[in-house]
Amino acid sequence: MQIDSINIAQTASAATIIYEALKKAIIEGQLADGAPLRQDEIAKMFNTSRIPVREAITMLEQQGLVVTQRYKGAVVAGISPDEAAEIWDFRALVEGHVIEAAVPRMSDETLELARSYLMAFSEGATPVDWGDQNRKFHTILYRDSGLFYHLGVIEKTLDRVDRYLRAQLALSNGLARANREHEAILAACERRDATRAAELTRQHILGAKTNLLDNLRKR
């Protein structure tokens, strides 16, 4: 099992540390869909008991990253094409609304950060790099919206699908297309054109949905 582990035998927040390590491994694709999370094995890796491991897995279940299956126990949750379509449609609605609210309030600092993330994305060498910078680029553009509940929902949704976003970016032409679309979204934000930024964000997400669904249906 490829996850970063440390000795936390005397750590009060053992469950949180295990949760963060497992979450990172799932999001970055180190743990594939359907991979079993064996409590004894994880407890041994972190030099702790099964109790914090069980608590960590419960936290992951609440986020939709893990499911418990009969006879198999806890496994990494996958998504079906139908579920992916629903999630990406939801993202298009919510993220389009949030960026439209953010643009009129967007600070120069936010725009500068977005530009730096766009450049880092284009220069990335691995799916982990692309995924990290892609997420930073989008979420920084939502920051000034003031819609804090929406922002929390977006973060949880991205946690749920981040590994699929990384896979989609690695598909043929995924990076080049994402770069062009990111540039257009940022240009609309810099012009303070909230309506156009929202429209481009929705198109960007729905275009990614089409590519992802094609890939999922080939499995």
Supply the CATH number for residue 111's domain. Answer: 1.20.120.530
Q: Which residue has the higher pLDDT, 199 or 208?
A: 199
What pLDDT, on the 0 to 100 scale, is given for residue 42?
A: 95
Computed over its alpha carbons, how large is the radius of gyration of the chain?
19
In a domain, 8, yes or no: no
Reported as a single tens digit per residue, the pLDDT across 24-68 is 888 878 898 899 999 999 999 999 999 999 999 999 998 888 999
Spell out the alpha helix ranges (H) of 49-192. Answer: 50-62, 81-102, 108-123, 127-142, 148-169, 174-190
The three-state secondary structure class of 12 is coil
What are residue 76's DSSP bridge partners?
Answer: 66
Q: Taking the model in full, what pTM does it have?
A: 0.79
Domain-embedded: residue 3: no
Q: What three-state secondary structure class fits 36?
A: strand
User: Both 210 and 139 in a single domain?
Assistant: yes
Angle between helices 50-62 and 14-27 (to 10 degrees): 50
10/145: higher pLDDT:
145
Same domain, 105 and 204: yes
Residue 170 has pLDDT above 80, yes or no: no
Asked if residue 86 and residue 30 are part of one domain, the reply reads no
Residue 2 lies in a domain: no
CA pair distance 76, 61, nearest whole angstrom? 9
Q: Confidence band (pLDDT; 50, 70, 90) for 5?
A: low
Give the C-alpha separation, 211 to 41, whole Å.
36
Backbone angles phi, psi at 63, to 5 degrees: -90, -5
Q: Does one domain contain both 51 and 123?
A: no
Number of independent structural domains in the chain: 2
The predicted structure's pLDDT at residue 171: 65
Confidence of residue 128 (pLDDT cuts 50, 70, 90): confident
Q: Is the pLDDT of residue 155 over 90?
A: yes
User: Average pLDDT, stretch 76-102?
Assistant: 94
Six token digits for residue 20: 């963060």
The mean of the pLDDT values for the chain is 89
Side chain identity at residue 43, one-letter code = A
Q: Residue 120: give the domain boundaries.
A: 81-217
